[in-house]
Structure 1
Amino acid sequence: MENNNQLLQEKTELQRQLGLPETLSIVINRIIGSGIFRTPAPIMLITASVSMFYGVWVLGGVATILGALCYAELVAMMPKAGGPYVFLKAAFPPVVTFLRGWAMFFVSETGAIAAVALFFSENAVSLFHTGPAKYPVALIAIAVVFMLTLFNSYGIKLSGTLQNIFGLAKIAILVLIVATAFSSGINTANFSSEATTAGPSGWAAVIAIFTAMRYSFFAYSGWEGATYVAEEVKNPSRNLPLSLFGGIGIVMLLYLLINSAYINLLGPAKMGTSTSVAVDSMQIAIGSAGALFVIIAIMVNTFSNVNTQIFVKSRTWFAMSRDQLFFRPLSKIHPRYKTPNYSLYAQAVWASVLILFSTTAKSNYEAVIDYFSFTSSVFNVLTFASVFVLRMKYPDIARPYKTFGYPITLIIVILIQLTFMIVTLITAFIPSLLGIALTATGLIYYKFYVPEESKQLKSSMS
């Protein structure tokens, strides 16, 4: 019972100032970034079928909603800073939670901040300059990361206000693109089976769908964003589940509409070979002004996405440090603004290092997704499995929300993730191994620098 009380109540200096509008905006802002402007092309290229193309987006959305059903139980039960890290900590030994956090900080999460900041910067530079501009792009990206880090260090209210503004702007932009795309009517020929060559069938179709889902999962990624700031949400047992379901539902609808807009204007064949489906679509619709509009729209979306990533992800490093599983200074709270400033600044520094490192290599958007997909899926499966584990370990704990359709829902989402993992390992073997290897380097830090008492702690909810 003592562990149960520690689960529900933990002393914290963070302040609960985020309501439902702010948490809903966090989910929407965290999901909608660069993905919807880039990933439809490789998905169409792989599936070579309009129906399979839609199937990938629907299956990705359904899998995301099923995942949210599981996360809703966990976060309503444990409304603490850190998101998935907190759930793994409660269910598994410290080394598992440490490796998840290590991979997030040094590989996937700060890497995502760097990648989206660079994508913003590339579009900003393209407004004034044509041709290669690696160093100006990198410097602008670093400036954006530090500027938004500074904003987020000045209190939770300012961060919440920015989330609301950007969330509304994103929805308005996507709705405007859809309206423009269909303003001249529906090109039914582009949606017919004759518009594409015969797509794969049988097992080849299954492999194609799950291969393409790498990109739809990437476009939906970030849906769990609000769980990272659970310690700063008012009435978290109510507002966090509502924000997850509402945010994912809104984004799924927008994604289906925006993809329909792309198909309506470009058709499947042009979509599959496009390097920027959004720009190409709007250029067809309203000429060069359309291309300019999309570039500005991408900048707004990516800028707000970087802002949300900086805001929510810093709470994981704060939570890890508080548990003595990461660099100790990162658990410090600013005495006036009550924000984890050291965690924010460390995150900005490492993201900037990755941005500078990017100047030595040629950017490859799809390769980055391949690189992180397998490792992320491994930890996703473990996080979903936490629902099983915690139901057995702590059957009497209060659960304000219980996973709908348990255990069937949980089994389905884990099977989807496992299938996705296997297909990813087969179709992106080398990138998957590299992601695993980089995660494994964290074991060196864990062995020599994590205090022995932290290693000996049994998995708990405290």
Structure 2
Amino acid sequence: MMDDKAQKLNLKRDVGLVGAVSLIGGTMIGSGIFMSPQTVLSTVGSPGASLVVWACAGLLVILASFCYAELGTVIRESGGEYIYIFRTFGPIPAFMLIFSSVLFIRPAGIVGISLSFSQYVVAPFYQDCPPPVVLVKCVAAAAILTLAIVNCLNVRFAMSVQVFFMVAKVLALVVIITGGVVMLIRGHTESFEDSFENTNVGVSAIGIAFYQGLWSYDGWNNLNYVTEELKRPEVNLPRAVVIAISLVTGLYLLVNVSYLTVMTPRELMSSTAVAVTWGNKVLGSWGWIMSLAAALSAFGSLNGTFFSGGRVCFVAAREGHMPDILSMAHVHRLTPSPALIFTTMVSLIVLIPGDFQSIVNYFSFTAWFFYGITLSGLIYLKIKKPELPRPYKVPIIIPILVLIAAVFLVLAPIIDSPQIEYLYVTLFVLSGVIIYIPFIHYKVCPGLLNKVTMFLQLFLEVAPTEKNL
């Protein structure tokens, strides 16, 4: 009889350097660059300050990703922040993260992107009035379900989808940049005269502007969720991070310059779909192409979020922090289908009351709270466990600087104008402890869970997995 270890399945190492760059870049370039520029500009009040926010957000993300590259080569397991917090601070903070991530952070990210995808899909049909909310949400739900099926069927196919949409969205951004360069050459520089006039330097305003800008960069840490499926992670993880994030930061700055060249700051701030407004002014009757490009971009980003999001749930279940069924993979397709199905169901529930701007702010607030904890874990490992093998290292000053930025981002929206919603989000995160004690630590009702797990295991054709090390 075969032992348990021989019967267990492994996730395949199918993701190479091109796939890794596409996963990071393709997830980062999503809905944000087509939805956030007007909010960043209206919050900080001037074109010059908005460009500074975009550049600083890119720099912050590059520094944070260097720290994650070191963490990913020291702790060579999938799961991103969850597994790093678990290995450095123990099970309770890690469970608080996974509880928040599975029930809010990840579904909120999926819903935010699917809503922007949906708005751009229906925009050409409702040029003179806002589209019906029900229609927007139905199209968003259809996108979520389609990508859930794709990711459950085949890892390699999901990565092919990612590479295709990466190429499509980069081409769309290149069109916007080229149009902007042509307009600059023709002398359209009005937006850049006295470009820092009327800048709003309030702490809360800067924090909210960063939330909106960083939403566009979200996905920079996606590769750390799929480390076990990455070929030669010690080489490809840092390489993919540097290539993808540098490319995206450069593109974002040039796209914002193009927006400001073609539109006045007032036009940009009043636009609900900035790429469509740009397309109508530059391409005329062909403006609908930008709506299509923005929709494709969001769809590709949604696919990348799904690809990595299911893995977080999957790794947490493997560590005993979620039901066992979520740690299993399909016996033939080797995809973590139960975790993906669960993520889909929660996302569809969050979609019902979802509102794009609120989702972005609460998502960023919660995400940077946990990024801060993760970075303090790296500082702890550097000081207390310098002997651990590190194929890739960053100077300790980098995680310290990013940690200071994370603390500022969490506190900034609360300092100037506290909102009760941020208190609700904080209480939701802390409530993870209340769930942890009875259900994880003392394992209340294990018999019932075992019966449900056995039924679902047979129904979904899944089996336990073991780690790729």
Task: State TM-score, norm by structure 1.
Answer: 0.88
Distance 1:448 1:295 in 2: 49
Distance 1:159 1:139 in 2: 23
Q: For residue 207 of structure 1, report the CA deviation from its aligned partner.
A: 5.5
Is structure 2 residue 156 aligned with structure 1 residue 157? yes
Distance 1:442 1:196 in 2: 44
Aligned-residue sequence identity (percent) comes to 27
Structure 1 window deviating more from structure 2 (369-378 vs 225-234): it is: 369-378
- Secondary structure (helix, strand or coil) at the match of 2:304 reads helix
> Where does residue 372 of structure 1 map in the other structure?
363
Distance 1:308 1:123 in 2: 19
Is structure 2 residue 15 aligned with structure 1 residue 18? yes
Q: Is the 8 A contact 2:112 2:360 kept in 1?
A: no
Opposite residue 156 of structure 1, the aligned amino acid is V
Size of the aligned set, in residue pairs, is 434
> Where does residue 114 of structure 1 map in the other structure?
111
| Map 1:181-192 → 2, pairs under 5 A | 181-186=180-185, 187-192=187-192
256, 273, 281: which is aligned to 1:284?
Answer: 281
> Where does residue 431 of structure 1 map in the other structure?
421
Q: For residue 196 of structure 1, report the CA deviation from its aligned partner.
A: 6.5
Alpha carbon RMSD of aligned pairs, Å? 2.2
> Where does residue 407 of structure 2 map in the other structure?
418
Distance 1:234 1:425 in 2: 42
- Secondary structure (helix, strand or coil) at the match of 1:339 reads coil
334, 342, 349: which is aligned to 2:345?
Answer: 349
- Secondary structure (helix, strand or coil) at the match of 2:13 reads coil
Is structure 2 residue 61 aligned with structure 1 residue 64? yes
Task: State TM-score, norm by structure 2.
Answer: 0.87
- 1:264-289 C-alpha deviation (Å, 9 max, x unpaired): 00122322333222221221112242
> Where does residue 38 of structure 1 map in the other structure?
35
Distance 1:41 1:126 in 2: 17
Opposite residue 319 of structure 1, the aligned amino acid is V
Distance 2:335 2:241 in 1: 23
| Map 1:275-354 → 2, pairs under 5 A | 275-290=272-287, 292-354=288-350
> Where does residue 451 of structure 2 map in the other structure?
none
Distance 1:141 1:205 in 2: 35
Distance 1:182 1:276 in 2: 21
> Where does residue 447 of structure 1 map in the other structure?
437
Q: For residue 132 of structure 1, report the CA deviation from its aligned partner.
A: 4.4
Opposite residue 380 of structure 1, the aligned amino acid is Y
- 1:372-426 C-alpha deviation (Å, 9 max, x unpaired): 33222211111111111222443221111011xx221121111112122221222
357, 375, 380: which is aligned to 1:384?
Answer: 375
Opposite residue 439 of structure 1, the aligned amino acid is V
Distance 2:196 2:390 in 1: 49
Structure 1 window deviating more from structure 2 (443-452 vs 318-327): it is: 443-452
Q: Which runs of 5+ in 2 are unaligned?
A: 1-7, 445-468
- Secondary structure (helix, strand or coil) at the match of 2:182 reads coil
- 1:346-388 C-alpha deviation (Å, 9 max, x unpaired): 1111111222344xxxx3x322222233222211111111111
Opposite residue 182 of structure 2, the aligned amino acid is S
Closer, same or farther in 2 for the Cα pair 1:205/1:444, shift >3 Å? closer
> Where does residue 4 of structure 2 map in the other structure?
none
Distance 1:98 1:233 in 2: 25
- 1:119-160 C-alpha deviation (Å, 9 max, x unpaired): 222332334456543333333322221221111122221122
Q: Is the 8 A contact 1:181 1:282 kept in 2?
A: no
Is structure 2 residue 393 aligned with structure 1 residue 402? yes
Distance 1:55 1:189 in 2: 17
262, 266, 277: which is aligned to 2:263?
Answer: 266
Closer, same or farther in 2 for the Cα pair 1:132/1:37, shift >3 Å? closer
Distance 1:166 1:419 in 2: 34
Q: Is the 8 A contact 1:373 1:432 kept in 2?
A: no
Distance 1:298 1:414 in 2: 33
Q: Which runs of 5+ in 1 are unaligned?
A: 1-10, 455-461
> Where does residue 213 of structure 2 map in the other structure?
216
Closer, same or farther in 2 for the Cα pair 1:182/1:341, shift >3 Å? same
Opposite residue 190 of structure 1, the aligned amino acid is E
Q: Is the 8 A contact 1:223 1:244 kept in 2?
A: yes
Opposite residue 385 of structure 1, the aligned amino acid is S
- 1:104-131 C-alpha deviation (Å, 9 max, x unpaired): 1111111211222122223323344565
Distance 1:323 1:195 in 2: 52
Structure 1 window deviating more from structure 2 (115-124 vs 225-234): it is: 115-124
Q: For residue 75 of structure 1, report the CA deviation from its aligned partner.
A: 0.5
Opposite residue 381 of structure 1, the aligned amino acid is G
- Secondary structure (helix, strand or coil) at the match of 1:17 reads coil
Closer, same or farther in 2 for the Cα pair 1:94/1:56, shift >3 Å? same
Is structure 2 residue 40 aligned with structure 1 residue 51? no
Q: For residue 430 of structure 1, report the CA deviation from its aligned partner.
A: 2.2
Distance 2:156 2:361 in 1: 36
